[in-house]
């Protein structure tokens, strides 16, 4: 296996007096889609914020592509989609993506590609504030995909989307991974876990299990991933 | 720093403003209406209008840009767009520079419009050059912008941000010398007045309106106004954190 793109070592983060991440160590490999799963409040977003360098860290470290997370050289190589879509509500879909494209020096064609990829070609001229929650989420995703970053950190990118679009987006994620990109995708929906090549299960700030979906099923003897999660939490498997 | 990113940001901010025609109309028309009102309430004492009209033209952009910036910046902070920007290859100064260019352009339009009304229709006279009033007004817009940017870090809701206007702008207007000459204020008020940036901005405008003198004092007024703007921008940049708890 090749060098991991994201390496987390003994990461500890305290947010608002609460331990959000406690001694988390893990690795994320390139060329596959790694799912970060677990209930809300388990530390998924905090870990992702740490990976893009906007989270203040209390102990431990996190490196991305061999550099400390958040290093200036990483900023054009890492795409990030925040959990709440960080989009300018008073700009159109295209204007939002276009602004980010100019910051990232991505050519015009890349703007249309990104907008098409998330299936918003029809809505490109629409003001973002008038879009539905699912559409807004896709605008933010288009902004993260700009310029084909080597590492994509996507915080719940498919929440609230219709199944058809969700399938298309997961196909896109795998296509990007096949081209060598590293994808870290979070979800609190267990049925999305099966779409990932590798899983990281996070609960109450601790990493409780890692492995492929099949490995986890085998190890716990559970049929579906929801039960896998239950057994891991309750049985200490 | 990158000019490409700075101009992209300026264009983005102006597009956002354009999407809100009601705000644009209010920003452009309210100063005009106020200056007409000012002329009318002092119909019996036209010398008062002549005395405070010129400087007041230059102070409008300070007030409006303070408000516009503090709200826009607060929105960037609260909506998460600022955090998102911080993960991109851009410098904090690119964001601030972009805002400064956009608001300076907008202030230029605002001042030009209210100047046409005041000088052209209402017969306001200033002894100094009118372009100097416009130029100083743009400077005041940037001063208001930097102050708004800085205080936006201390507000968590738009409600709070709006309250910073009476808290931080009104006292400066009262103490700058516009309503009462600073020399006739109590000593402790003069001390406070000397600490407030708008005092110097007003003083420079008043000197232009009176036709001088453009001596060391005028130069100091301009320098302090610019210095305060830069200082507030630097402090504001300090509040744009890449890493947050």
Question: How far from A213 is each of A3, A173, A178, A224, B238, CA to CA, in Å?
Answer: 22, 17, 19, 9, 45
Asked if pLDDT for residue A21 goes beyond 60, the answer is yes
Asked if pLDDT for residue A3 goes beyond 90, the answer is no
State the Cα–Cα distance between residues B45 and B119, nearest whole angstrom.
18
> Per-residue pLDDT tens for A206-218?
999 999 999 998 9
As a whole number, mean pLDDT of residues A15-40 equals 92
- B8 contacts A55? CB cut-off 8 A: no
Q: Is the dihedral of CA A21, B76, B97, A97 positive or negative?
A: positive
**B89, B71 Cβ separation under 8 angstroms:** no
Among residues A20, A213, A34, A44, the alpha carbon closest in space to that of A232 is found at A213
Asked if pLDDT for residue A57 goes beyond 70, the answer is yes
Interface check B245 vs A, CB under 8 A: yes
> Per-residue pLDDT tens for A59-116?
999 999 999 998 999 999 999 998 888 899 999 999 999 999 999 999 999 999 999 9
pLDDT reported for residue B66: 92
Size (chain B), residues = 245
Sheet holding A67-68, edge to edge: A18-28, A6-15, A59-64, A67-68
Among residues A28, A25, A37, the alpha carbon closest in space to that of A1 is found at A28
- Say which DSSP state B154 is in: G
pLDDT reported for residue B58: 85
**Percent of chain A predicted with pLDDT > 90:** 67
**A209, A51 Cβ separation under 8 angstroms:** no
pLDDT band for A58, please (50, 70, 90 cuts): very high
**What is the residue extent of each domain of chain B?**
3-239
Asked if pLDDT for residue A237 goes beyond 50, the answer is no
> Per-residue pLDDT tens for A105-128?
999 999 999 999 888 999 999 999
Best interface-test mutation with B: which of A14, A48, A54, A56 has the largest number of B CBs within 10 A?
A: A54
**What is the residue extent of each domain of chain A?**
1-77+150-237, 84-148
Question: How far from B17 is each of A4, A89, A128, CA to CA, in Å?
Answer: 44, 12, 15
B11 CA to chain A: closest CA distance, Å?
A: 9
Question: How far from B41 is each of A130, B44, B61, B63, B146, CA to CA, in Å?
Answer: 44, 8, 22, 21, 33
pLDDT reported for residue A236: 54
- A53 contacts B88? CB cut-off 8 A: no
Asked if pLDDT for residue A188 goes beyond 90, the answer is no
Give the range among A17-31, A140-154, A187-201 with minimum mean pLDDT.
A187-201
Best interface-test mutation with A: which of B10, B18, B76, B87 has the largest number of A CBs within 10 A?
A: B87
pLDDT band for A235, please (50, 70, 90 cuts): low
- The H or E element containing residue A103 is helix A93-103
Pick the CATH number of A1-77+150-237 from 3.90.1300.10, 2.40.50.140, 3.10.150.10, 3.40.50.300: 3.40.50.300
Interface check B156 vs A, CB under 8 A: no
Among residues B58, B74, B38, B54, the alpha carbon closest in space to that of B165 is found at B74
* CB-defined contacts A:B, below 8 A: 76
State the Cα–Cα distance between residues B213 and B29, nearest whole angstrom.
32
Stretches where chain B sits below pLDDT 50 are: none
**A103, B5 Cβ separation under 8 angstroms:** yes
């Amino acid at each position: 296996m090749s060098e991991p793109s994201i390496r987390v070592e003994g990461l500890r983060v305290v947010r608002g007096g609460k331990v959000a991440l406690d001694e988390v160590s893990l690795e994320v490999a390139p060329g596959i889609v790694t799912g970060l799963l677990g209930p809300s409040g388990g530390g998924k977003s905090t870990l992702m914020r740490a990976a893009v360098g906007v989270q203040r860290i209390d102990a431990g470290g996190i490196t991305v592509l061999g550099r400390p997370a958040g290093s200036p050289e990483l900023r054009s190589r890492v795409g990030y989609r925040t959990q709440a879509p960080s989009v300018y509500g008073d700009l159109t879909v295209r204007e939002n993506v276009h602004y980010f494209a100019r910051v990232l020096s991505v050519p015009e064609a890349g703007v249309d590609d990104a907008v098409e990829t998330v299936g918003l070609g029809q809505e490109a001229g629409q003001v973002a504030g008038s879009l539905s929650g699912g559409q807004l989420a896709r605008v933010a995703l288009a902004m993260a995909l700009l310029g084909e970053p080597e590492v994509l950190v996507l915080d719940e990118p498919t929440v609230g989307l219709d199944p058809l679009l969700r399938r298309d987006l997961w196909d896109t994620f795998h296509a990007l991974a096949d081209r060598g990109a590293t994808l870290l995708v979070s979800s609190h929906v267990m049925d999305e876990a099966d779409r990932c090549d590798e899983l990281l299960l996070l609960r109450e700030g601790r990493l409780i299990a890692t492995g492929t979906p099949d490995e986890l099923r085998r190890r716990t003897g559970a049929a579906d991933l929801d039960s896998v999660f239950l057994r891991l939490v309750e049985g200490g498997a | 720093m990158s000019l490409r990113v700075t101009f992209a940001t300026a264009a983005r901010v102006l597009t956002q403003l354009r999407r809100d025609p009601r705000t644009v109309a209010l920003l452009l028309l309210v100063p005009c209406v106020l200056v007409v009102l000012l002329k009318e309430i002092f119909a019996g004492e036209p010398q008062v209008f002549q005395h405070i009209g010129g400087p007041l033209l230059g102070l409008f952009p300070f007030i409006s840009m303070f408000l516009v910036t503090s709200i826009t910046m607060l929105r960037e902070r609260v909506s998460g767009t600022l955090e998102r920007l911080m993960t991109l290859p851009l410098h904090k100064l690119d964001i601030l520079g972009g805002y400064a260019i956009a608001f300076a352009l907008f202030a230029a339009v605002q001042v030009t419009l209210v100047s046409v009304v005041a000088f052209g229709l209402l017969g306001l006279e200033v002894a100094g050059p009118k372009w100097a009033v416009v130029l100083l007004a743009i400077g005041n817009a940037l001063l208001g912008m930097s102050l708004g940017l800085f205080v936006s870090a201390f507000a968590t809701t738009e409600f709070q941000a709006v309250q910073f206007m009476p808290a931080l702008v009104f006292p400066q207007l009262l103490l700058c010398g516009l309503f009462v000459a600073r020399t006739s204020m109590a000593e402790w008020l003069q001390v406070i007045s000397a600490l407030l940036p708008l005092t110097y901005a007003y003083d420079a405008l008043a000197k232009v309106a009176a036709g001088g003198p453009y001596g060391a004092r005028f130069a100091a007024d301009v320098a302090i106004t610019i210095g305060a703007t830069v200082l507030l921008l630097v402090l504001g940049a300090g509040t744009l954190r890449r890493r947050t708890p």
